[in-house]
C-alpha cells in the first residue's frame, strides 16, 4: 500500500507544522491549501509532497481535484488530517450577528467537512483501510460567547466523527476528533481588532488552565500521530480534549 496522508488547511499554523513533521519522516503527503502555500513553500520541490489548492465548500471541485492528484501520483491515501477551518471574526452575540456571516462559517466548516469526506472516503473504502482525525475545538463542550457559528460548526464536526465511526467501522476505517483549547498561533494576518480579541481571550483562558500554558503544535501532533498510527487499532469515535487539564 502506498501510504499517503492528506492534510487540509496545510498552509495554516497547525496544518503547516504537521506537514513539515511528516515531510521530515519522508512521508508521502497530499497537502490541501485554499489560496496560499506560503508556510509550506519550502516543500514544493519535495518528491514526496503534492500541494493542491481547493475550495472545500465546492463539492465538485473537491472531488475532482482529489481524484486527479491520486490518479496522477498513483498514491493511495490511507490517512486524513482535517485542520481547515474558518473562525468567527465579528465577535458579536448571536442576536447581533449578520445571517450572511453565520451562514458562511457554517457552510465552510460543516459543508467543507462533508465535501472532503464525501471525496476521500470512497478511496478509503476501496482500500478497506483508513484513519481520520478531524479537528474541532474545546468550544464543543464549553461554547464560545460571541462566536456561536464557529462553536456550532465544531460541535457538528465532532458529532459527525462519532457517526462516521459507526458507519465505516466495517470498512476498517477509524475516525476520531481532536479538540484543542487555546493555541498560540501566528496572528500577523489578523486585523488589529481580532488580535485584541484573541489577546483578551488568551489572558482569560490561561488563568483557567492548570498547566498555565497554551497547547503547542507538538502537543497536537503527538496525539494526532498516535491516532493515525498502527498502534491505534481500536480507538474510534472519540473526541480528545487537549486543554492542559481544564475540565
Banded pLDDT at 233 (limits 50, 70, 90): very high
Which pLDDT value is given to residue 186? 64
**Superfamily of structural domain 3-242:** NAD(P)-binding Rossmann-like Domain (3.40.50.720)
Poorest-confidence range of 159-168, 182-191, 203-212, 216-225? 182-191
Which pLDDT value is given to residue 171? 98
Residue 189 clears pLDDT 70, i.e. is over it: no
Q: What are the residues facing 7 on neighbouring strands?
A: 31, 81
Residue 27 clears pLDDT 80, i.e. is over it: yes
Dump pLDDT digits (tens) for 69-94: 999 999 999 999 999 999 877 778 99
Banded pLDDT at 207 (limits 50, 70, 90): confident
Characterize 29-68 residue by residue with b for buried, 16 or more Cβ atoms within 10 angstroms of its Cβ, and e for exposed: bbbbbbeebebbeebeebeebbbbebebbebeebbebbee
150 is a catalytic site residue? yes
Q: What is the mean pLDDT of residues 131-147?
A: 94
Dump pLDDT digits (tens) for 12-21: 999 999 999 9
Q: What is the pTM of this model?
A: 0.93
Residues 6+ apart with CB under 8 A from 59: 111, 114, 115, 118, 119
DSSP state of 215: B
Which pLDDT value is given to residue 191? 67
SS3 of 74-136: CCEEEEEEECCCCCCCCCCCHHHCCHHHHHHHHHHHHHHHHHHHHHHHHHHHHHCCEEEEEEC
Q: What is the mean pLDDT of residues 58-79?
A: 97
Which pLDDT value is given to residue 194? 64
Kindly state the percentage of the chain with pLDDT values over 70.
Answer: 94
Residue 1 clears pLDDT 60, i.e. is over it: no
Q: Which of 22, 129, 150, 234 is catalytic?
A: 150
| Pick from 126, 115, 45: nearest CA to 82 | 115
Which pLDDT value is given to residue 165? 98
| Pick from 156, 173, 17: nearest CA to 9 | 17
Mean confidence (pLDDT) of the chain:
92
| Pick from 15, 14, 57, 58: nearest CA to 33 | 15
Amino acid at each position: 500500500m502506498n501510504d499517503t496522508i492528506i492534510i487540509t488547511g496545510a498552509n495554516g499554523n497547525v496544518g503547516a507544522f504537521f506537514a513539515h513533521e511528516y515531510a521530515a519522516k519522508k512521508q508521502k503527503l497530499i497537502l490541501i491549501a485554499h489560496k496560499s502555500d506560503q508556510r509550506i513553500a519550502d516543500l514544493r520541490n519535495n518528491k514526496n509532497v503534492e500541494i493542491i489548492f481547493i475550495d472545500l465548500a465546492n463539492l465538485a471541485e473537491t472531488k475532482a481535484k482529489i481524484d486527479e492528484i491520486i490518479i496522477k501520483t498513483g498514491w493511495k491515501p490511507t490517512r486524513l488530517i482535517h485542520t481547515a477551518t474558518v473562525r468567527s471574526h465579528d465577535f458579536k452575540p448571536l442576536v447581533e450577528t449578520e445571517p450572511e456571516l453565520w451562514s458562511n462559517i457554517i457552510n465552510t466548516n460543516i459543508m467543507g467537512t462533508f465535501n472532503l469526506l464525501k471525496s476521500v472516503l470512497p478511496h478509503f473504502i476501496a482500500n478497506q483501510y483508513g484513519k481520520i482525525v478531524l479537528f474541532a475545538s474545546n468550544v464543543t463542550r464549553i461554547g464560545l460567547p460571541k462566536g456561536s457559528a464557529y462553536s456550532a460548526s465544531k460541535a457538528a464536526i465532532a458529532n459527525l466523527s462519532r457517526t462516521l465511526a459507526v458507519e465505516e467501522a466495517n470498512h476498517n476505517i477509524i475516525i476520531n476528533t481532536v479538540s484543542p483549547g487555546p493555541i498560540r498561533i501566528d496572528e500577523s494576518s489578523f486585523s488589529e481588532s481580532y488580535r485584541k480579541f484573541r489577546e483578551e481571550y488568551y489572558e482569560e483562558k490561561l488563568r483557567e488552565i492548570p498547566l498555565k500554558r497554551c497547547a503547542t503544535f507538538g502537543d497536537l501532533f503527538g496525539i494526532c500521530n498516535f491516532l493515525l498510527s498502527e498502534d491505534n487499532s481500536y480507538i474510534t469515535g472519540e473526541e480528545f480534549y487537549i486543554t492542559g487539564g481544564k475540565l
